[in-house]
């Protein structure tokens, strides 16, 4: 394959990967598309710099395992990325190279070598979540006498009730909510998957107040900014942080936690676990593709572990009724105190 063909082939296959494979066939969300685009942009930029040429002069023959491995190392060393971020970038590149295997058989061998690059083992960090009383303090902060406060309270309550991802919540439309018994909401998740979630009466009331406080716009999303446009992710994060800062007066523990919209999703999952909901039900509730993702919350909740351990100890019958001979007597304690 000539150098000219290489240059022509890479842009064409990259474009078709995003337009046809990701968006049309897989139905990837805008967030997923952005993540793939960022990974590929960083990789091609690194490759061009290391080979001292412009990205426009790169060809399909330049995409090999050696270059990808060097890029992954650069992410951790030069850019200071975590192992998790490194693995996310590799996962995105794998998706692209899997597409190349099917559409460029000439270079399939070098693509397979890239696909053989392993993920790096990373420590699993416990999911950060809010205790119910902390969440209650946050929900008490918006001033529901104002249109903005009505919107903010409805958004925060909806996120906690449904465990929705922030992108899912911000794409919510009025027709997605059913207020007849039982009240439910249709959430459009990753990969064009849909799920139904039940709504608390309080959430239904909050959404109804929000609907009544803003003008009807055909096809508009539920949660909007001051200009009537769809609320952005940054806008939602700002709203949450504002009320977290206020809630720290009554809930000082919040000062030690970085609270993001995704933390409310974790908080919903842990609250469901604490209520005794089966983990497979929580998987469907949150829209997880794999039960392994949901199982992460089992290892997070120390309170549940403590309760299980105490129950096991009580049932074991191992608790001794005899006095512990190793326990210091009062006389011994007095003797030791006399030596100090």
Catalytic choice (186, 190, 209, 230): 190
Q: What was the pLDDT predicted at 4?
A: 40
Q: What was the pLDDT predicted at 284?
A: 84
Cα 144 from Cα 321, distance rounded (Å): 57
* Burial (CB count within 10 angstroms: exposed 0-12, middle 13-18, buried 19+), residue 161: buried
Q: What was the pLDDT predicted at 8?
A: 42
CB contact set of 223 (below 8 Å; sequence gap of 6+): 151, 154, 155, 169, 170, 172, 210, 230, 231, 236
Cα 204 from Cα 197, distance rounded (Å): 12
Q: What was the pLDDT predicted at 1?
A: 43
Where exactly does CATH 1.10.150 map onto the chain?
3-115
Cis omega before residue 182 (within 30°)? yes
209 annotated active-site: no
- For the chain, residues with pLDDT lower than 70 are 1-8, 124, 191-192, 289-340
Q: What was the pLDDT predicted at 2?
A: 42
Where exactly does CATH 1.10.443.10 map onto the chain?
132-304
Coil, strand or helix: which one is 147?
helix
Catalytic choice (165, 188, 224, 266): 165
Cα 137 from Cα 150, distance rounded (Å): 16
> What is residue 177's DSSP assignment?
E
265 annotated active-site: yes
190 annotated active-site: yes
Q: How far is CA 263 from CA 170, 226, 258, in A?
A: 16, 25, 8
Q: What was the pLDDT predicted at 301?
A: 56
Q: What was the pLDDT predicted at 289?
A: 65
How many CB atoms neighbour CB 288 within 10 A? 20
- 54 close to 110: Cβ distance less than 8 angstroms: no
- 107 close to 63: Cβ distance less than 8 angstroms: yes
Q: What was the pLDDT predicted at 290?
A: 65
Thinking of the domain 132-304, which architecture would CATH place it in? Orthogonal Bundle (1.10)
Helices (H), the chain: 3-16, 30-50, 65-77, 83-103, 108-115, 132-139, 147-162, 166-170, 201-213, 233-247, 261-274, 279-286, 291-300, 302-316, 330-339
Catalytic choice (43, 111, 129, 297): 297
Q: What was the pLDDT predicted at 6?
A: 39
Question: Which residue has 């240059």 as its token pair?
Answer: 7
Q: What was the pLDDT predicted at 3?
A: 41
Catalytic choice (136, 230, 248, 262): 262
Q: Return the CATH class of domain 3-115.
A: mainly alpha
Catalytic choice (224, 265, 266, 283): 265
145 annotated active-site: no
* Burial (CB count within 10 angstroms: exposed 0-12, middle 13-18, buried 19+), residue 125: exposed
Q: Which two tokens stand for residue 270?
A: 């842990």
């Amino acid at each position: 394959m000539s150098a000219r063909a290489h240059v022509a082939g890479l842009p064409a296959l990259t474009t078709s990967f995003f337009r046809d494979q990701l968006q049309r066939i897989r139905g990837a969300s805008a967030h997923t598309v952005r993540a793939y685009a960022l990974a590929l942009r960083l990789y091609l930029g690194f490759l061009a710099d290391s080979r001292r040429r412009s990205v426009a002069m790169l060809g399909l023959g330049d995409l090999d395992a050696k270059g990808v491995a060097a890029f992954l190392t650069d992410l951790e060393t030069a850019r200071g990325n975590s192992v998790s971020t490194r693995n996310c970038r590799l996962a995105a590149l794998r998706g692209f190279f899997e597409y190349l295997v099917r559409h460029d058989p000439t270079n399939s061998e070098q693509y397979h070598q890239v696909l053989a690059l392993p993920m790096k083992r990373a420590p699993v960090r416990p999911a950060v979540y809010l205790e119910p009383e902390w969440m209650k303090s946050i929900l008490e902060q918006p001033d529901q006498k104002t249109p903005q406060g009505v919107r903010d309270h409805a958004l925060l309550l909806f996120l906690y009730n449904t465990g929705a991802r922030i992108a899912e919540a911000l794409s919510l439309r009025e027709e997605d909510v059913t207020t007849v018994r039982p009240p439910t909401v249709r959430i459009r998740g990753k990969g064009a998957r849909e799920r139904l979630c039940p709504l608390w009466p309080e959430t239904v009331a909050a959404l109804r107040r929000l609907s009544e406080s803003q003008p009807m716009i055909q096809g508009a999303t539920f949660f909007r900014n001051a200009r009537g446009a769809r609320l952005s992710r940054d806008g939602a994060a700002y709203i949450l942080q504002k009320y977290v800062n206020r809630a720290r007066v009554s809930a000082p523990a919040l000062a030690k936690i970085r609270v993001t919209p995704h933390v409310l999703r974790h908080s919903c999952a842990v609250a469901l676990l604490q209520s005794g909901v089966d983990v497979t039900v929580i998987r469907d509730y949150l829209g997880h593709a794999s039960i392994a993702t949901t199982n992460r919350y089992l290892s997070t909740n120390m309170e549940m572990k403590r309760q299980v351990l105490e129950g096991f100890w009580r049932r074991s019958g191992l608790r001794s009724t005899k006095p512990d001979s190793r326990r210091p007597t009062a006389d011994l304690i007095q003797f030791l105190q006399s030596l100090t």
